Amino acid sequence: MVDALIAVRAMHVAASVAAAGALLFRLWVAAPAWHGVGTSAWRVRLDRQLNTIAWSSLAVVFVSAAVWLLLIAAEVSGQSLRDVLGGGAVTTLVASTRFGHVWVARIIIALALGVYLLRAKPDVSALSPHGCAAAALAAALLGALALAGHGGATPAAAGIVHLIADMAHAIAAGAWVGGLLPLVLLLAAARRAADAPALVAARDATRRFSNLGLVSVAALLATGIVNTIFLAGSVPALLGTPYGQLLLLKILLFLAMVAIAAVNRLKLTPQLLVHDPEKWVPVFGKDHAQTIG
């Protein structure tokens, strides 16, 4: 049961990150970058790909949420999954526990995101009412994950600080990590198009995502320190307990991601920001640079 819970929760978190990341990427990176591109074929195809990521991820969010609820109900009640399906354990869990309340809230948020996707336009501004509402829903989908975690269980005033840090941590991680696949798809689409508007859009998108990465890294670092203080509390606990060692592994992975982001920020992004197309060769290839020239 524990292994199943870990797997389902990991799937649910990953799907939430992918769905929210795709939406935030389109709002904050793609839409401003392709503002002057028009309705080109590569842009339409990319928008379709972003929608596919968002829809498929939301589907996994719903399915994994349902399975997660059943597994928690079975664990709490001590019943088998068959008995849980036929009894009232699920209803009691949803109506009478913090986990159930958070579960309902996240399902409502995911449904609202689905409604937005049905009516979304590719060039919606992040500052428009629709754009702000979509960004708030995507952030809420990520931030609400913290309500069912350690931050939501810490008591008193310290719990508020811990919860806010946890929510900010989840949102920053989701916006950054969830935007990586959309960024790869955008750069690949621009490379295939190999025309001036596409490569200019790729340049702008890379710059915008780099800025988003800087903000996300700063937020992850600050909130990570707060969370480490709350969860580990001391250096011996960080080094001498399984949870502390797992936290150290997470920190090492974070540092590896920061190193990758630094290479992108300090080496690749400046190549795209220069005006001389010949200097784009290491990123897009000689033929694509000549197309711009």
Q: What is the 3-state secondary structure (H, E, C) of the chain?
A: CHHHHHHHHHHHHHHHHHHHHHHHHHHHHHHHHCCCCCCCHHHHHHHHHHHHHHHHHHHHHHHHHHHHHHHHHHHHHCCCHHHHHHCCHHHHHHHHCHHHHHHHHHHHHHHHHHHHHHHCCCCCCCCCHHHHHHHHHHHHHHHHHHHHCHHHHCCHHHHHHHHHHHHHHHHHHHHHHCCHHHHHHHHHHHHHHCCHHHHHHHHHHHHHHHHHHHHHHHHHHHHHHHHHHHHCCCHHHHHHCHHHHHHHHHHHHHHHHHHHHHHHHHHHHHHHHCCCHHHHHHHHCHHHHHHHC
User: Which distant-in-sequence residues (6+ apart) come within 8 Å of 219 by Cβ?
Assistant: 168, 169, 171, 172
* Torsion sign over Cα 63, 250, 217, 233: positive
pLDDT of residue 290: 45
- Residue in 141, 10, 9 with CA at minimum distance from that of residue 72: 9
pLDDT of residue 137: 94
* Residue located via tokens 């300090």: 266
User: Which distant-in-sequence residues (6+ apart) come within 8 Å of 3 by Cβ?
Assistant: none
pLDDT of residue 174: 92
pLDDT of residue 274: 55
pLDDT of residue 281: 45
Q: Which amino acid is located at 111 in the chain?
A: L
Q: Which amino acid is located at 222 in the chain?
A: A
Low-confidence ranges of the chain (pLDDT < 50): 275-278, 280-284, 286-293
* Residue located via tokens 């806010």: 164
- Residue in 47, 50, 35, 44 with CA at minimum distance from that of residue 201: 35
pLDDT of residue 192: 83
Q: Per residue in 163-179, pLDDT tens?
A: 888 899 999 989 989 99
pLDDT of residue 235: 60
Q: Are 162 and 226 in contact (CB under 8 A)?
A: yes
Domain range for 169 is 2-292
pLDDT of residue 289: 45
How many whole angstroms from its chain centre is CA 174? 2
| Domains of the chain: total | 1
pLDDT of residue 12: 95
| Single pTM value for the model | 0.81
- Residue in 181, 105, 90, 96 with CA at minimum distance from that of residue 142: 105
